[in-house]
Chain A
Amino acid sequence: MTSARIFFIGGLMSYRALFGWMNPWIFVPSLLVSPVCQILLFAYIGRSAGVGDDEFYVIGNALNYAAIPCMFAMTFTIGGERFAQTLGLVLATPARRIPLFLGRSMPVIANGWFVAMFGVVVGSMLLDTDIPGSAWPLIALVVAVGSLASTGLGLVMGAINLVYRDGATLGNVLFLVLLIFTGTNVALDDLPGWMAAVGRWLPLTHAIEASRMLADGAAWGAVSGLVGTELLIGVGYLAVGLSAIRVFEWLSRTGATLDRI
């Protein structure tokens, strides 16, 4: 019961506490306008280079951009506490760590899903791509799985944030890695072999591929394997993140890195 409360109520409260500075003046430009602009940028690069079609870039970049809210918010749920110097207080409580941190990830996943879906919808409207109506429910599901996987990576970064203070820079670097390696703008087949191999281990790669297939009219059976892999990758990152938090929490107790901001 306590754990359930920590998961739902604690998760939501900490989200409100840590993102209290968020307002429409920040949310709209950085989480709604920017992804659409990124879509347009690469769609036009594609047109200019004569590579791919608009739908390819809409889906790739919209999902890629979900990584921004997912990873940053998740990192910030730990880094932000560090900045406010409340992290030590939270870690001093007896609350179980798994519901504590997973509860924090739920609003983050929901936010990432919304940002990505907004990108897909607005991007397709602006560029006149036609994704069949029947594909939308499954695309929405796949996007949710992709958000979960990016949030998993975010949790790993949050853990690193316990021992390394510059989480925001790290988050940006990882976003760039995702931009290039997950097939956002260049299909994995067209990437050099080693890049594609790295991409297979990253979140979003399989979700992007599955969404593109769905938009081209593929049935659930054709993409279920990809979605399963994405889910597996996401759960894997979450597990790594949670164990890393455990290890780093112990390390920071011995090395006293926690209170340094």
Chain B
Amino acid sequence: MRQQVVCFWLQLKILLFSPFEGFLAVVFPLMFATAALLVYQVNGDPAAMLYAGIGAAAMGIWTSQTVSATTLVQRERRAGTLELVVAAPTPFSLVLLPITFAMAAIGLYSVVATILWDWWLFDIALQVENWPLFVLSILMAAVTIALFGFLLSVSAVRYRTSWALGAALEYPGWLLCGFVVPLDLLPAVLRPVSWLLAPTWAVEGMRAAAAGESPWGDLAICAAVGLAYAALAAWLGVRLITSARRDATLALT
């Protein structure tokens, strides 16, 4: 436990000093949220603006995970530390977990930043009926996306170009999780994919809490999907590290 907390704190420090994770991971989704809201603003329907504003707030969590989590292992490789952390007796999963949570913390920061920004630039004052549940939903989004990022970073150990794949997940995730677009608009074939993504449920929960409805059903599914990610990642972690040791892909840059 102590290891998790100290590692979380030190990794957060690394991220904050990094112009990429500490600055871009917040600004990038913020600007995409802005672009989306600019489109919504053309018609100026306040209900639609509020709908988009709530989802746009959470876009940053997704970015901070998919992009950063897959570049994470690449970064360790480049610094030459990947081999060292793998050679440590602590299981590799327990090394990665606090890092992904440090990223989720950056994601949470971006949520607050986006809400303030939207309020300042677009005059969107979030009308939330049930603040505690709304915050809980955001936290659920952060945690489950962190677990998804954990899954991604584990797979990145073995496949060294996975950072490019991770970066390519950013836009589809924004679309498929329904951050700024109602899922009903998407082709029906894509719906099962959305269901498999935990953030979809967290965003639903956020909207429900904001509207004063019960988010518990959505949050329960969200938690279940998130746990499935964690289990899958832990299982893959052992297998992929072994295979990286067999195929000598740890040291490659």
Contact = CB atoms under 8 A, between A and B. Distances in A.
Direct contact of A and B (CB under 8 A): yes
Interface of A: 23, 25-26, 29-30, 33-34, 37-38, 40-42, 44-52, 166, 168-169, 172-173, 176, 179-180, 184-186, 190-191
Contacts of A168: 20
B236 interface: no
B180 interface: yes
B161 A45 contact: no
B175 A44 contact: yes
Interface string B18-56: 011001100110011011101110110100100010000
Task: Report the interface size class on chain B.
Answer: 20 to 34
B164 A185 contact: no
Contact of A180 (B35, B165, B167): B35
Given A44-B181, A48-B185, A179-B31, A169 B20 contact: yes
Contacts of A52: 39, 42
Interface in B173-190: 174-175, 180-182, 185-186
Given A44-B186, A172-B28, A173-B27, A33 B42 contact: no
Interface string B142-169: 0000000000000000000100110110
A255 B43 CA distance: 52
B164 A180 contact: no
A41 B39 contact: no
Contacts of B181: 41, 44-45, 47-48
Contacts of B180: 45, 48
B171 interface: yes
Interface of B: 19-20, 23-24, 27-28, 31-32, 34-36, 38-40, 42-43, 45, 48, 52, 161, 164-165, 167-168, 170-172, 174-175, 180-182, 185-186
B41 to A, nearest CB: 8
Which 8 pairs across A and B sit closest by C-beta, in order of nearness?
A29-B168, A37-B171, A25-B161, A176-B31, A26-B164, A169-B19, A49-B40, A51-B42
A30 B39 contact: no
A179 B171 contact: no
B161 A23 contact: yes
A191 B35 CA distance: 11
Given A37-B171, A186-B39, A49 B48 contact: yes
A161 B27 CA distance: 21
B168 A37 contact: yes
Nearest to B175: A41
A54 to B, nearest CB: 12
A37 B34 CA distance: 18
A185 B28 contact: no
A29 B181 CA distance: 23
Nearest to A27: B164
A169 B165 CA distance: 19
